Chain A
Amino acid sequence: MNEALLRSLTPTVLGILVRRGADFAAAEDAVQDALVEAVRVWPADPPRDPKGWLITVAWRRFLDTTRADAARRRREDLVDDEPAPGPAPEVDDTLQLYFLCAHPSLTPSSAVALTLRAVGGLTTRQIADAYLVPEATMAQRISRAKRTVSAVRFDRPGDVATVLRVLYLVFNEGYTGDVDLAAEAIRLTRQLAGAIDHPEVAGLLALMLLHHARRASRTSPDGSLVPLAEQDRGRWDTAVIAEGVDILQTALARDRLGEFQAQAAIAALHADAPTAEETDWVQIVEWYDELARLTDSPVVRLNRAVAVGEADGARAGLAALTALDDALPRHTAVAAYLHERDGDLATAARLYAEAAHRAPNLAERDHLTRQAARLNTRRQR
């Protein structure tokens, strides 16, 4: 059974339940139950109409739960007004669900969890595992998130930018275990791109694909990080790169530039270089200028300093760096790299060790420590 296919039906089925009058929180629980049931039943007894099956089972589950609640409260509700089962309405509320799950009233971690469950169809256990938190904690986070958005009108358009930030977070952060969050983020962004025609959605999808294509080459067999310049480009997935470039070009042609398109353009220029030496750094600097104009982010200016160092020499890169706050994450690592390129190995080694001390994760800390060790070993010889 194709679990991704099953999960791709999640938002449609959930939207239909909500349109039939179920409240979002109860409908979401019912759909989740139906998905679990499908995983159990379908391998032996695949339905002819998977979507119809899910709608029927989820709706029945919703009614059972609502009736049980009503009985407990000794109150007759309107649950007997069951609409006649029939063809699903033509409207697809997938897009509305994306907006709801990324609603600005939610914290980023809640929006991520709710999106993965209500739009992605992942179980609470899978989401908990991906973020290394106990299942009970994740269950609470999701039910609080559902309460937070319970009063939100379902039929109002939301802000695409908030949805994109959530999907970017899913792609960029999280532990890759049983569930591949990066692949899931791509699936969800692709599905969003099918529901709304927006150049930044396309830009984010292109960005994800272009980074995902390089994934196999990013870590060595012992788990250590391999920097872009040292990656085995023969292991980059050229089909995925081609798709990303294609999506990006179509988006750029519409002349509504945004930060994700600009980031994807930089990724595309890296992907396009047959060797690290052939990278078009001049054009990359130009894209960083665009990106700095669009976002005014110090992190962008830091990355720009690296690009300037490649395009115009290490001295120019170091000059660009002096304008930036040295408390910025990775500032010291960038300084170390540029000093090494400039030939000042003693300073570079000292800065690499200092950067390792400030590294935000173990992989980077190990990488930076190795860089310091490499230079120290070389200098001793």
Chain B
Amino acid sequence: MAKYLLLKHYRGGPAAVNDVPMDRWTPEEISAHMQYMSDFASRLEKTGEYIEGQALAPEGAWVRYDGPGRPPVTDGPFAETKDLIAGWMVIDVDSYERAVELAGELSAAPGAGGKPIHEWLEVRPFLTEPPTIAE
């Protein structure tokens, strides 16, 4: 088994095929999208492949250490950042192929006009524990 992170971006990835902001969909299209996402997660729970999912607020800031006795430096809210993560899902699957297959299904979630969004999702493997048998 291997864990993968499916990352969804507010921006930063290539443009989706059906690229219409959600507030331009109809309320029914929004409901259909939500239903698809929740069905997808429950299906993966049933197959034993779902670990967790989280959504992030779009606003955040950069923070760094600024030396002893000084408060951290902050830069933000990061309105200018090119890449902005919207949320993620962690899955535990048998192969990279399975991870790609699931990311493809997630990207097919319906959007404007009830048609798949074809949104680009980022698939990233987790670094694993070293195997017991090394040689």
Interface residues, chain A, CB within 8 Å of chain B?
222-224, 349, 352-353, 356-360, 362, 366, 369-370, 372-374, 376-377
Contacts and interface: CB of A to CB of B under 8 A. Distances in A.
Interface of B: 21-27, 29-31, 34-35, 38, 55, 57-59
Nearest to A358: B59
Do most interface residues of chain A lie in helix, strand or loop, or is the interface mixed?
helix
A362 B34 CA distance: 11
Given A222-B34, A222-B35, A373 B55 contact: no
Contacts of A224: 31, 34
Given A357-B58, A358-B59, A360-B57, A366 B27 contact: no
B30 A369 contact: yes
Given A358-B59, A362-B55, A373 B35 contact: no
- Name the 8 nearest CB pairs between A and B, nearest first: A372-B23, A353-B23, A370-B27, A377-B26, A373-B27, A369-B22, A374-B27, A373-B23
A373 B58 contact: no
Given A357-B58, A360-B57, A373 B24 contact: yes
Contacts of B29: 373
11 contacts: A223-B34, A349-B23, A353-B23, A356-B23, A357-B59, A358-B57, A373-B23, A373-B24, A373-B25, A373-B26, A374-B27
A224 B28 CA distance: 12
Identify whether the interface residues of B are mostly helix, strand, loop, or mixed.
helix
A358 B79 CA distance: 13
B31 A369 contact: no
Contacts of B21: 353
A356 B10 CA distance: 14
A210 B59 CA distance: 34
A325 to B, nearest CB: 16
A256 B37 CA distance: 50
Contacts of B38: 223
B86 to A, nearest CB: 11
A375 B22 CA distance: 13
Contacts of A369: 22-23, 30
A214 B38 CA distance: 25
Nearest to B38: A223
Contacts of A353: 21, 23
A362 B58 CA distance: 12
Contacts of A359: 57
Contacts of A222: 31, 34-35
